[in-house]
Chain A
Amino acid sequence: MTAEDVARDGPGKAFMLCNEAIVRGALESDVKVVSEYPGSPTTEILDTFSELSTMFDYKMEIASNEKVALETCAGASMVGLRTMTAMKSVGMNVASDSFFSLSYTGIKGGMVIVMADDPQAHSSQTEQDGRPFGPNAYVPMLEPSDPTEAKRMVKEAYLLSEKYGVPVLIRTTTRVNHQSGVVQLDKLDRKPFAKLPWPHPPGRFCTVAEAARNFKKALLERQRKIQEEFEYSDMNLVKDTGSEIGIVTSGAGYNYTVEATRILGIDPSILKLGTTYPLPRKLIGDFIKKKRAVIVVEELQPYLELHVTAIAKDANPELKIFGKWTGNLSEALELSPDIVATALAGVLGLGKPVDYESIIAKANTLKTGLPDRWPTFCPGCPHRATLYALRQATKGMKHILATDIGCYSMSFLDPINYGDTLLSMGASLGVAAGLQYAAQEKIVAMIGDSTFWHAGLPGMVNAIHHNDDITLVILDNEVTAMTGQQPDPGRDYNAGGQPAKPLVLEDVIKAMGVSDITIVDPYQVKAAVEPMKAALSRKGPNVIISRRACALYADRNKRRRGEAIQSNKVDKEVCKKPYTCIRNFHCPAISIDDNDRKAVITKELCDRCDVCAKLCPFGSIKLREGE
C-alpha cells in the first residue's frame, strides 16, 4: 500500500499495515493535533502522519520525547481538539508521569494514545507488558487484533474519550502493528482546522491534594460507567459453540487461537476481549459459567488469567483454568499458531496435530554451520568508523563503555562485542555517573544525537553540576536513524518537511558549562584517533562529538539530488591479506574470496564511505570505475 491509499476518500478498500489503518482511523475521526517520538513497532504511525501532513490540515510535531508528545496532545485536547500520540512500550514509561495525572484531570477533545508492546523484544530492551498502565491509571484500554479492528477501535476510542472526558489507550503488540490486511475505507469527513476559545474555569486541569482527591472520586464513578458500557460493547466477541471448553483471549492471541483450532479441527467456545480495561466482568462471568474448562491465551503476563480466575471464584468455582500458571503457556516470548495449537492439544488431551518438535529438530540438523546474521551497522554507517576509532583511541586504556539506545546499541553484539551497559533512553549518562564513583577504570558514555535530546539532557546537567569524571561520546548522525531517519531537534525541518529551528549540540553543551568539546569526522577514521585519545586522557566531564550523517539518510539525499552512489573495490594485485578492513570493522560489503583469500567488496552493498580504504596499510582499496 502507499500513503495515497491512507489519504484516499472512501468508500473503498486498501491493503495496509495496521499502523496505517490506525492513521486512517484517526483521519476518519477528524484528528487535529498529532505528536509522537518514533519507536518500533509504532514508527509507521508517525511516518504516515508525517508523509500525509501536507495533504491534511492537522498540526503535527515529531516531539523530542514521548512525554512531551503526550503532553502536547493533552494540551490540545484540553482546549477541545482531537489528538493522537503513539509510542512503544518503553516510551510509555517516559510518558507515564503525565499520563497518570491526565487520567485525573481528564480532557475535552478526544485523545487517543497508542501503546505498543513488543513480545519477543524484537526491537526493545525488555518484553514489557503495558497492560497494567490501564488499570493503574484508570484509563480505558482497547485491544485490536488486526488492521480492520484497529481502525474501528480508534474511531470508537474518540467517541468514548469525548463521552467520558478521558484519554483512551489502544494497546497493540508487534504482531498486530506489523500486520497488513485489506481494510475498508470509510468517508473522510473533515472539518477545517480552527482554534477554539479556552472554555474552562481556572484550575480545571490542576491536580494536587484536595483537587486530586475530588478527581479520584469522579474517576471511580467514570470507571464504573465505562465498565457497564463495555459489558454490552460489540468490541468484545462471544462465539459460543455449545462446547464446554472455552478460550478467553485478546489481540494477537486471538489470531493464533483461531489458527490453532483450524489446525486441530476443534470448535471450542471463544471469548475475544476487545475492551481489556475495564474488563467486562459480567460478560466474562456469563461466558465461563457453563464451561468445564477455560484456556486463557494471551502474550506476556497472565493479566486476563488473573481476572478470569478472580471472576470464576463466584461465577464458577469448579472451573478448571489453564494458562501461564498451569505451565501450558509461557510468560516469555511471543506466541505463534504452533505454540497455541500445542498448548490446546495438551490441555484437551489430543494427539499432536503436527510433530513440531521433529520438524524443528530436523531443520536444526540441516542448519548446522549456517552462520548467524544478526542486524548490524549498514555499509557506510558512521558508527562502525566511530567505534573503530574509539577502540584505537582507548588502546591500553582500561575503560568501561556505558552505551545507550539507538543503532549503536548493536555494538555490544557479535562480532563487535564492544559495550558494557545498556538500559534505556539516556541512561548512559546516569549509569556513567555511578560507574565513575565505583569503578577504577576510565568511564566513557556513548549516546546518539536524538537520544541525547530525548533523555540525555538531564543526565548531562547532572554530570556537569557534579563535575563527574566522564567522557561523553555523542554520535551525531543528524537524525533518529534507528527508526527510519526521522528529523530530530538538530534538523532545520520537522514532520512533513515543515521548517524547524535547529539546535546545535556543541552550542547547547557549551552553554551548559562544558568547554572541553572535541569534534571529529568518523569517516576520517585515522585522523579522529589522536584528538579522541587526547580528550579521553583529560578529566571529565568532557565531550567528543563524532559527526557524520547516517549513511541511509545521506544516500536518500544523494538520490534526491540525482547523485550516484559510488562503490569501492579491492585491487587484488596490491592486497597482501592483512585483513585490516575486516578485523574490528566488519562491514557487510566486505568478504573474503574463497579462491585466493583476498578481500572483495560487493558492489551492490558498498556505500563508498571509504573508511576501509583509509584503514588498508597497502592502499589496495580503490574507487570502482567503469563497471
Chain B
Amino acid sequence: MADKEFSVYMCGVGGQGLVLLSNVIGSACALSGMRAITGEQHGLSQRSGSINIHMRIGKDVRSPLIPIGGADAILALEALEALRYVEYLRPGGVVVMNSRVQHPIIETGEHVKDKSARYMDAEVVKTRLLQVTDKIATIDALGIARKAGNALTENVVMLGAMSTLDAFPVPDDAVEQAIKDGVPKKAVEVNLKAFKMGRQEAHGSLCNIVKCRKGFPEPMT
C-alpha cells in the first residue's frame, strides 16, 4: 500500500480550514512512514477568496503541484470550487464535494443589477461535473458538522468522507492520531466525532458509486 500514489486536489474558500486538512493527512503519512508533499496557498488565503492545496502521497512524487488531468480526487469544501479546478481531475476521478455554496460577492453584486439572475447552485455544479466523471458524492458537511457539535468541523467531516475511499492510502488510525495532534486539545473530541460522522455519511453516497475500503459501507450508529 505504501507505494501506491494518490493525488487529491483540495479546494474551498479562504477561512474553511484547508491547511488543517493537509497538515492532518501529511502528519498521518509521516506517522505511517509514507512520503507526502503539498503545494499550498498562504498569504491571501483568509480573504474569502478561492483557495487550493495540492496534496500528493507516494514515494516517487516530486512536484508539489498536481499536473492538469492528474488528480485522483477533488475534495471541495465548497460546491462552486469543485468546478473551478475541474481540469485537474483525471478521467474517471472522484469528486467529493460539500453541498454548501458560498455565494461570491461578484455574483451577488450582479444580482443587484439583474433581477432575473439566479445563483449557480450545487446541482448545476454536479450536472456540469457529470460530463467528466460519474463518481461524484455530495455531502451536507455543514449539517453534519453542526450535528457533531461544531459548525467549524465541516472540513474534518469532508476528510472523513474521503478517507473511506479504497484509493486513499493512509491508514485510519494514523489519520485519527494526526487529528488528535493537530487540533486544539479542547476540540479533539468534536473533531473525531465529525471525522466519524463524515465516514458514516460516505456510506449513503460515496460508497455507492466508487470502491470504498473494507468495512464500508458501515452501519450508521
Contacts and interface: CB of A to CB of B under 8 A. Distances in A.
24 contacts: A1-B23, A1-B27, A17-B40, A43-B42, A122-B41, A180-B22, A180-B23, A180-B37, A181-B36, A262-B60, A263-B67, A337-B63, A338-B69, A356-B68, A362-B132, A363-B86, A375-B14, A376-B47, A378-B15, A379-B48, A582-B112, A583-B109, A592-B112, A597-B111
A591 B111 CA distance: 9
A354 B90 CA distance: 11
A604 B151 contact: yes
A40 B41 CA distance: 10
A594 B44 CA distance: 30
B63 A359 contact: no
A366 interface: yes
- Among A40, A258, A259, A336, chain B packs the most CB atoms within 10 A around the CB of A259
Contacts of A592: 103, 108, 111-112, 119
A90 to B, nearest CB: 13
A256 B56 CA distance: 14
A255 B105 contact: no
Contacts of A371: 80, 104, 106-107, 110, 120
Interface in B43-58: 43-50
B129 interface: yes
Given A15-B27, A375-B49, A338 B67 contact: yes
A580 to B, nearest CB: 10
Interface string B180-193: 01100000000000
The 3 closest A-B pairs by CB, nearest first: A40-B43, A375-B49, A375-B47
A179 B39 contact: yes
Interface stretch (A286-294, A407-415, A531-539): A407-415
Nearest to A177: B42
Contacts of A505: none
Most chain A CB neighbours (cut-off 10 Å) among B43, B103, B112: B43
Nearest to B142: A604
Interface string B110-147: 11100100111000000011011000000000100000
B210 interface: no
B38 interface: yes
B43 A41 contact: yes
Given A579-B112, A591-B103, A122 B44 contact: yes
Interface string B60-91: 11111111111000000000110110110000
A366 B30 contact: no
A258 B47 contact: no
A13 interface: yes
B11 to A, nearest CB: 10
B69 A359 contact: yes
Interface in A224-261: 252, 254-256, 258-259
Interface string B12-44: 011100000011001101100011111111111
B208 interface: no
Q: Which of A43, A366, A367 has the most CB of B within 10 A?
A: A366
A175 B67 contact: no
A592 B105 CA distance: 10
B179 to A, nearest CB: 12
B109 A582 contact: yes
B120 A373 contact: no
B41 A178 contact: yes
Contacts of B38: 179-181
Interface in B165-197: 181-182
Contacts of A435: none
Nearest to B183: A2
Contacts of A360: 68, 87
Given A2-B182, A373-B49, A356 B103 contact: no
B65 A256 contact: yes
B118 A359 contact: no
A378 B68 contact: no
B64 A179 contact: yes
Contact of B86 (A122, A354, A367): A367
Contact of A44 (B37, B42, B68, B119): B42
A594 B119 contact: yes
Given A1-B23, A415-B106, A586-B109, A377 B68 contact: no
Given A14-B27, A337-B66, A367-B86, 7 more contacts: A181-B38, A262-B62, A363-B86, A366-B129, A371-B110, A373-B106, A586-B108
Nearest to A485: B46
A122 B52 CA distance: 13
A492 B74 CA distance: 44
A559 to B, nearest CB: 10
Given A258-B63, A376-B47, A376-B105, A175 B68 contact: no
Nearest to B128: A366
A98 interface: no
Interface in A270-314: none
A199 B132 CA distance: 70
Interface string A558-597: 0000000000000000000001001100111011101001
A255 B62 contact: yes
Given A375-B47, A586-B105, A2 B63 contact: no
A522 B70 CA distance: 47
A561 to B, nearest CB: 15
Contacts of A586: 105, 108-109
B29 A15 contact: yes
A254 to B, nearest CB: 8
B26 A1 contact: yes
Interface in A355-401: 356, 359-360, 362-363, 366-367, 369-379
A101 interface: no
A96 interface: no
Contact of B40 (A180, A369, A597, A605): A180
A78 interface: no
B119 A374 contact: no
Nearest to B111: A592
A263 B7 CA distance: 14
A123 interface: yes
Contacts of A482: 43-44
A360 B68 CA distance: 8
A518 B64 CA distance: 49
Contacts of B112: 579, 582-583, 592
Nearest to B146: A604
Contacts of A2: 23, 181-182
A529 to B, nearest CB: 22
A616 interface: no
A123 B47 CA distance: 12
A66 B151 CA distance: 40
A258 to B, nearest CB: 4
B80 A366 contact: no
